[in-house]
Amino acid sequence: MASPPEEKQRPARFLLDGHVVEAADASPTTTLLQYLRGPLGRCGTKEGCAEGDCGACTVVVGEPHGEGMRYRAVNSCIRFVPTLDGKEVVTVESLRAPDGTLHPVQQALVEAHASQCGFCTPGFVMSLFALWLEREAVTREAAVEALSGNLCRCTGYRPILDAAMRMHGLGPSTHWPKGTEHDARRRAQVPVDPQPVRTPGYFAPRTIAALAQAYLEAPDSLLLAGGTDVGLWVTKQLRDLPPILYLGDVAELDRIVEKDGALEIGAAASLTDGYGAIVARYPMLAELAERFGSPPVRNSGTLCGNVANGSPIGDSMPVLIALGSEVVLRRGEQERVLPMEALYLGYRKSAMQPGEFVRAVRVPLPRADRHVATYKISKRRDQDISAVCAAFAFTLRGGNVEEARIAYGGMAATPKRAAAAEDALRGKPWSATSVRAAIEALARDFAPIDDMRASAAYRQRMAGALLERFHAQTTGASA
């Protein structure tokens, strides 16, 4: 997909403190962090890990939304500059007023003595700024959740959480007034261009048809969504990427709709929005959504990217498979629909053909007679990768298991259904005896491996224990 010379080239342009930045000197994989600290000379934003884990690089990105703007925290260390076209970037330098008055978020951190070495502080400021914009007051729980992607090694979290609780009480900011009128004014300043971004090695089509055609013509391109996996291939693995085809500028893909008894989540919809829609229908999945990465990771990353990437330890697939979800695949002008489990043929091997991509994921709507749960086992509660992730969707009738769908992550080379355990339960009483038989069957379904996250024996034990837990929760028995 090299850019033919006759195609009009156009670099990305974004808004920064009221000025339009034309990023003509950014390569397709220049990260926003590199660009801020390099050409833009903004060194307030820090690099801690360069892999989305520590939050030192957090900035806020504003996107036109309805009549106004929607601001969200993102990790600038894994976000490529060209993907910021038509958006606003807010950094820690943006918050202080020209006369030196601190923003209420910054003032609250000062008053609560919430900074020592200060290295992590700009990242905390920006995560809190996103929260300050979103709400008029915060609970401690909301602050803990908003800061779950920010690490501090020396201050300790109590003063930082105290600052979060204090910030809304410090009055409005004259420098950053909130509200629809101000958002509409900022929206009017964001650069709008009818031409898609196209530079050597990067193309961001605006329609599904243009994206599908470009991918069909150049199937060796790298399809980029939120970049929360791909970003690390550059910053940690130092890989040279093939030409990038970015799907995030296709407005039609950033849609979540209810259609034909399913929730259809488009390829450009963020994990925040995708999980928001799923949890609104399946409240029991709230914990999984909250424990997936951190808010900045979920704000950039997409649900379809998680599904397409197909990692055996990806967290979305077990529950989506258990629910009977489907993937809508697009290649050129053709679409086909597959049960999600049929997408995974082997370790990182998918059923997608060259030039084919996930256009959307379809999640069946809840049914009153279905019991659903998913459990994630990881070493830390927040911001950690699963050792084992289990998901169950059972229809129970008259004390018997009418339908059992069980899927696991971390137990095989792909996210996988537990076919033998399902067989052991179907039509049987939903009893401790049946659960024991199903646990024995799990040994036929899976031969997990030892790795740094868990031993094979631990994984096998946990797979059974989580089924016992599901039984206990659905029957009221103690586990």
Ligand X SMILES: Cc1cc2nc3c(=O)[nH]c(=O)nc-3n(C[C@H](O)[C@H](O)[C@H](O)COP(=O)(O)OP(=O)(O)OC[C@H]3O[C@@H](n4cnc5c(N)ncnc54)[C@H](O)[C@@H]3O)c2cc1C
Question: Minimum distance between the CB of residue 93 and ligand FES, rounded to whole angstroms?
Answer: 17
Whole-angstrom Cα Rg for the chain: 23
Instruction: Determine contact, residues 328/357, Cβ cutoff 8 Å.
Output: no
- Nearer Cβ to ligand FES (31/302): 31
Of the candidate residues 28, 55, 122, 464, the single one contacting ligand FES (CB under 6 A): 55
Residue 55 interacting entry, from ligand FES, ligand X, none, C-beta within 5 to 8 Å by type: ligand FES
Give the CA distances from residue 71 to residues 32, 74, 128, 151, 323, in Å, rounded to whole numbers and listed in that order. 16, 10, 12, 21, 32
Q: Which two tokens stand for residue 361?
A: 């994921």
To the nearest whole angstrom, how small is the minimum distance from the Cβ of residue 309 to ligand X? 4
Report if residue 269 touches ligand FES, rule: CB under 6 A: no
CA angle (453 as vertex; 452, 457 as ends), nearest 5: 100
Q: Using an 8 Å Cβ cutoff, are 120 and 54 in contact?
A: yes
Asked if 86 touches ligand FES (CB under 6 A), the answer is: no
314 interface partner picked from ligand FES, ligand X, none, CB below 5 to 8 A per type: ligand X
Verify binding: residue 196, ligand X, rule CB under 6 A.
Answer: no
| Residues of this chain, 340-399, that bind ligand X according to CB under 6 A | 357-358, 385
Contact stretch for ligand FES (CB under 6 A) within 10-18, 43-51, 134-142, 278-286: 43-51
CB 318 within 8 A of CB 390: yes
Instruction: With beta carbons less than 8 A apart as the criterion, state whether 105 and 167 touch.
Output: yes
Does position 315 interact with ligand X (CB under 6 A)? The reply is yes
Residue among 66 and 156 whose Cβ is closer to ligand FES? 156
Euclidean distance between CA atoms 336 and 316, whole angstroms: 21
Contact flag: residue 53 with ligand X (CB under 6 A): yes
CB of 360 to ligand X, least distance (A): 8
Q: How many residues bind ligand FES (CB under 6 A)?
A: 23
For ligand X, the binding residues in 205-224 under the rule CB under 6 A are 222-224
> Do 454 and 389 contact (CB within 8 A), yes or no?
no
Among 12, 23, 50, 285, indicate the residue that binds ligand FES (CB under 6 A). Answer: 50
- Choosing among ligand X, ligand FES, none, which partner's interface includes residue 117 (Cβ < 5 to 8 Å by kind)? ligand FES
Among 10, 47, 168, 437, binds ligand FES (CB under 6 A): 47
Select from 57, 308, 411, 462 the one that contacts ligand X (CB under 6 A). 308
Residue 155 half-sphere exposure, CB side, CA atoms within 13 Å? 23
Residue 81 DSSP one-character state: G
Select the binding partner of residue 120 from ligand X, ligand FES, none (C-beta < 5 to 8 A, by kind): ligand FES
Residue 326 is given by DSSP the state E
List of E strands, 38-184: 58-65, 68-75, 88-90
Minimal distance in Å, beta carbon 435 to ligand FES? 41
How far is Cα 398 from Cα 213, in angstroms, rounded to an integer?
52
Site string for ligand X, 276-295 (x = CB under 6 A): ----------------xx--
Torsion over CA: 280, 281, 286, 291 (sign): negative
- Minimal CA–CA distance to 318: which of 280, 344, 294, 338? 344
Q: Is residue 276 involved in binding ligand FES (CB under 6 A)? A: no
Asked whether position 250 contacts ligand X by CB under 6 A, the answer is: no
223 contributes a contact to ligand FES by CB under 6 A: no
DSSP-H helix ranges across 301-395? 303-309, 316-323
Q: Centre a 10 Å sphere on the Cβ of residue 380 and count the other Cβ atoms it contains.
A: 9
Strands of 290-434, DSSP E: 326-331, 334-339, 344-346, 349-350, 356-364, 370-377, 388-397, 400-409, 416-417
User: Which is nearest to 90 in space by CA: 10, 24, 176?
Assistant: 176
- What is the rounded CA–CA span in Å between residue 405 and residue 1? 41
Query: Does 52 participate in binding ligand FES (rule CB under 6 A)?
Result: yes
Q: Which does 111 bind (CB under 5 to 8 A by kind): ligand X, ligand FES, none?
A: none
Which of ligand X, ligand FES, none is residue 230 near (CB under 5 to 8 Å by kind)?
Answer: ligand X
Rounded CA gap, 277 and 281, in Å?
A: 7
Q: Which of 156, 148, 155, 153 is nearest to 55 (CA)?
A: 148
HSE-CB at 229 with a 13 A cutoff on CA atoms is: 17
Which residue number, 301 or 318, has a Cβ lying nearer to ligand FES? 301
Residue number, 77 or 253, with CB nearest to ligand FES: 77
- 118 near ligand FES, rule: CB under 6 A: yes
Residues 146-165 that bind ligand FES (CB under 6 A): 152-155
Binds 414: which of ligand X, ligand FES, none (CB < 5-8 Å by kind): none
Residue 54 interacts with ligand FES (CB under 6 A): yes or no: yes
- Asked if 467 contacts 422 with a C-beta cutoff of 8 angstroms, the reply is no
**Short-list 134, 245, 131, 114, CA closest to 179:** 134
Q: Does 117 contact ligand FES by CB under 6 A?
A: yes
Q: Does residue 30 bind ligand FES (CB under 6 A)?
A: no
If the CB atoms of residues 160 and 303 are measured against ligand X, the closer one turns out to be 303
- Binding region for ligand FES (CB under 6 A): 47-50, 52-57, 75, 77, 115-121, 152-155
Task: Give the footprint of ligand X on this chain (CB under 6 A).
Answer: 51-53, 222-230, 232, 267, 271, 292-293, 297, 301-302, 304-306, 308-309, 314-315, 357-358, 385
